Amino acid sequence: MAESVKCNNLKIYIFNIIVSISILYYALSGLASKDHYKVLVLGGGSGGIAMAARMKRKVGAKNVAIVEPSEVHYYQPIWTLVGAGSKSVASSGRPTASVIPSGVTWVTSKVAEFDPENNTVHTDSGKKISYDYLIVALGLELHYEKIKGLPEGFEHPKIGSNYSVKTVEKTWNALKNFKEGNALFTFPNTPIKCAGAPQKIMYLSDAFLRKTGKRSKANIIYNTSLPVLFGVKKYADALWEIVKKRDLNVNLRHNLIEVRADKQEAVFENLDKPGETEVYKYEMIHVTPPMGPPAVLKGSSLEDEAGWLNVNKSTLQHKTYANVFGIGDCTNLPTSKTAAAVAAQSAVLDRTVSRILKKQTPDKTYDGYTSCPLVTSYNTVILAEFDYDGQPLETFPVDQSKESRVMYHMKADVMPHLYWHGLLKGLWGGPGPYRTIMHMGMK
Ligand SMILES: Cc1cc2nc3c(=O)[nH]c(=O)nc-3n(C[C@H](O)[C@H](O)[C@H](O)COP(=O)(O)OP(=O)(O)OC[C@H]3O[C@@H](n4cnc5c(N)ncnc54)[C@H](O)[C@@H]3O)c2cc1C
C-alpha cells in the first residue's frame, strides 16, 4: 500500500514537471514570436542587418525584430567578380541565421502590408506586428520580365546577368565559351543599384578575351540608356579614355527591349528616335534588368510619386511618419544605390534614431556619400566616391580616377571583410572619419 502511494506521488511529481516545462516552453515560444517590438526592421539585407545590429546596442536585443524571408544573405558586390570567373558564387552567401544579431528576433516572412497610422505591419503569413519605431530596408526589385523574351531566355546559353544569384554564373559560362562575334552589355532605362556594375563586366570580359587570345574575334558593345558613360564627370572622363584605348563600342541612349535567345539576337530602342529599333546578333550578352521599388510599398502612404520610400535626404526620417525611417536601395535618396551608401547612411540613421529616442531633434546630416569600385580589369580599379552633387569625395590622398592595383585589392579582398565583420555588425559607417585623417583634416 505504502509502495503504491509512493509510486503515485512520483507519477504526479513527474507529470507536474512535464506540465511546468511545457508552460515554460510555450511562454518562451510566445516571447519569441511576440507581436510588438520597440524597433522593427523590414528586410535583412545590407541595410536591415546593419541597422538591427546598431539598434540592438541602443534598445536591447529582445526589443528588436527583423522581417526577412530569405534563408541566405548575399554579399552582392562580389557578383561582378563571380560573373568574370574570379570568385565563386558560394563565397558570396552565408546563412541568414548567421548574420542576424544574436538575441534579435528573426521573423521569416515577407511584409505584405503597411499600416503606419496604427504603427503596424502585416506579414504574408497573416501575422500582425506593431512597433514603436520602424526601419524600412527592403531593397529594390529586379524586373527581367519587362524585357520581352526574359526571364525564360536565360534557359539558353550565351546569356547571363550578374544582378541575380540565379543568373550570375551564366555570365561566366557565356564568357568562357565565347568563340567569335558580338559581346553585348546593357544598361536599362530605370534607376539601378550599383550603376557601375553593367560596365565593370564589360571591362573584365575584354580583359578575359585578351588573356585567352580571342579579343581580335570579339566586337565589344556597351548599349546604355543613359546619355553619359558614368554620372560623375571626373570618372566618366577616365572611363572614356579606357573605352577608346581598348576599342570598346559605346552606344548611348540605347535601351534593351527584347532578347530572342533562341536566335542570339537582342533588340534595342533608340531613346532619341522614338519608334526606331535596332537588332544586334550576339555571341554573348550580359543583361542588366530594369529595376524598381519594392511592390509592397505601392499604394501605401509611405511611397513617393515614383514608388520609393519617401524619406528626408539628410536625416533618413520618413517625410510623413516621424517614427518611420529608411535606408538603402528602397529609399528615394537622390544618390547612387550601393552598399557603400548604405554604410554611410547607417551611421547617420543610428544617430537620428538615438536623438529621437531621447526626444531630441536629429542633428547629423547624410551628404549622399556613395562609392563604386569601377573594376577595369582583373587587377585594376578606379575607385569612384562622390556625394549628392556628384562631387568627388575621395578617401585616399591620391587621384582615384587613375586605375589602381591597390584599389582592386580593396574591392576583391578588403571590402568583403569590411562588409561581413564591419557593416553587418553595425561597426562600419563608411570612410568619412578616415577621409578626414588621410587628408589631414582638410576634407
Ligand atoms: C552585381 C552587383 C554589383 C554591386 N556592386 C557593388 C559595389 O561594388 N559596391 C557597392 O557598394 N554596392 C554594390 N552593389 C549594390 C549593393 O549590393 C546594394 O546597393 C545593397 O545590397 C543595398 O542594400 P539594401 O539593404 O538596400 O538591399 P538588399 O541588400 O538587397 O536587401 C533587401 C532585403 O529585403 C528583403 N525583402 C525584400 N522584400 C521583402 C519583403 N516584402 N519583406 C521582407 N523582406 C523583404 C530581401 O530579401 C533582402 O534581403 C552591387 C549589387 C549588385 C547586384
Task: Please give the grid coordinates belonging to residue 271.
Answer: 531613346
Residue 362 lies in a domain: no
Burial class (CB in 10 A: 0-12, 13-18, 19+), 153: buried
Q: Which residues of 317-348 are buried (b: 16+ CB within 10 A; e: fewer)?
A: bbeebeebbbbbbbbbbebbbbbbbbbbbbbb
Q: Which sequence positions are flagged as catalytic? A: 194, 372
Which segment of 13-17, 89-93, 250-254 scores lowest on mean pLDDT? Answer: 13-17
Which residue's CA is the closest to the ligand 1 atom numbered 4? 77
Residue 194 lies in a domain: yes
Q: Are residues 133 and 158 in the same domain?
A: no
List the CATH number of the domain containing 199.
Answer: 3.50.50.60
What pTM was computed for the model? 0.93
Q: Is pLDDT at 46 greater than 50 in this prediction?
A: yes
Condensed to tens digits (0 to 9), the pLDDT of residues 57-68 reads 999 999 999 999
Q: Is pLDDT at 6 greater than 60 in this prediction?
A: no
Pocket of ligand 1 contains residue 131 by CB under 6 Å = no
**Alpha-carbon gap, residue 133 to 400, rounded angstroms:** 39
The Å distance, Cα 147 to ligand 1 centre, comes to 21
For 321, residues 6+ apart whose C-beta sits below 8 A from its C-beta are 116, 134, 301, 302
In what helix (H) or strand (E) does residue 349 lie, and over which residues does it extend?
helix 339-357
In terms of Cα–Cα distance, which of 90, 142, 135 is closest to 111? 135
The full DSSP string for 39-102 is EEEE--SHHHHHHHHHHHHHH-GGGEEEE---SEEE-GGGHHHHHTTSS-GGGGEEEHHHHSPT
**Alpha-carbon gap, residue 443 to 437, rounded angstroms:** 9
Q: Answer with the one of 316, 334, 357 that is the final residue of a domain.
A: 357
The full length of the chain comes to 443
Q: Are residues 326 and 431 in the same domain?
A: no
pLDDT of the residue at 25: 38
Q: Is pLDDT at 295 greater than 80 in this prediction?
A: yes
Which residue's CA is the closest to the ligand 1 atom numbered 42? 110
Pocket of ligand 1 contains residue 69 by CB under 6 Å = yes
The Å distance, Cα 329 to ligand 1 centre, comes to 7
**Alpha-carbon gap, residue 163 to 165, rounded angstroms:** 7
CA angle in degrees (0–180, nearest 5) for 68-189-93: 30
Residue 303 lies in a domain: yes
Condensed to tens digits (0 to 9), the pLDDT of residues 167-217 reads 999 999 999 999 999 999 999 999 999 999 999 999 999 999 999 999 999
Q: Which DSSP letter does residue 317 get?
A: B
Pocket of ligand 1 contains residue 68 by CB under 6 Å = yes
Q: Are residues 410 and 332 in the same domain?
A: no
Q: Are residues 281 and 299 in the same domain?
A: no
For residue 45, which atom of ligand 1 is closest to its CA? Answer: 31
Condensed to tens digits (0 to 9), the pLDDT of residues 308-337 reads 999 999 999 999 999 999 999 999 999 999
**Total count of domains within the chain:** 3
Residue 156 lies in a domain: yes
Q: Are residues 173 and 266 in the same domain?
A: yes
Residue 377 lies in a domain: yes
Residue 169 lies in a domain: yes
Given ligand 1 and candidates 329, 376, 382, which is best to mutate, with the most ligand atoms within 8 Å of its CB? Answer: 329
pLDDT of the residue at 287: 99
Q: Answer with the one of 289, 304, 336 that is the final residue of a domain.
A: 289
Residue 443 lies in a domain: no
59 touches 85 (CB < 8 A): no
Q: Are residues 128 and 57 in the same domain?
A: yes
**In terms of DSSP H, where are the helices of 148-277?**
168-176, 197-211, 233-245
> What sign results for the dihedral spanned by CA atoms 321, 326, 331, 332?
positive
Q: How far is CA 309 from the centre of its chain?
A: 15
Task: Please give the grid coordinates belonging to residue 295.
Answer: 511592390
Q: Are residues 376 and 433 in the same domain?
A: yes
Q: Are residues 284 and 382 in the same domain?
A: no
Residue 212 lies in a domain: yes
Q: Are residues 135 and 61 in the same domain?
A: yes
Q: Is pLDDT at 10 greater than 70 in this prediction?
A: no
Q: Are residues 336 and 379 in the same domain?
A: no
225 touches 188 (CB < 8 A): yes
> What sign results for the dihedral spanned by CA atoms 309, 310, 313, 317?
negative
Q: Are residues 259 and 284 in the same domain?
A: yes
291 touches 190 (CB < 8 A): yes
285 touches 273 (CB < 8 A): no
Q: Answer with the one of 289, 320, 341 that is the final residue of a domain.
A: 289
**In terms of DSSP H, where are the helices of 117-254?**
168-176, 197-211, 233-245
Distance separating the N- and C-terminal Cα atoms of the chain = 90
CA angle in degrees (0–180, nearest 5) for 219-220-226: 140
* Domain ranges, residue 55: 2-140+293-357
Q: Are residues 221 and 313 in the same domain?
A: no
51 touches 349 (CB < 8 A): yes
For residue 80, which atom of ligand 1 is closest to its CA? Answer: 1
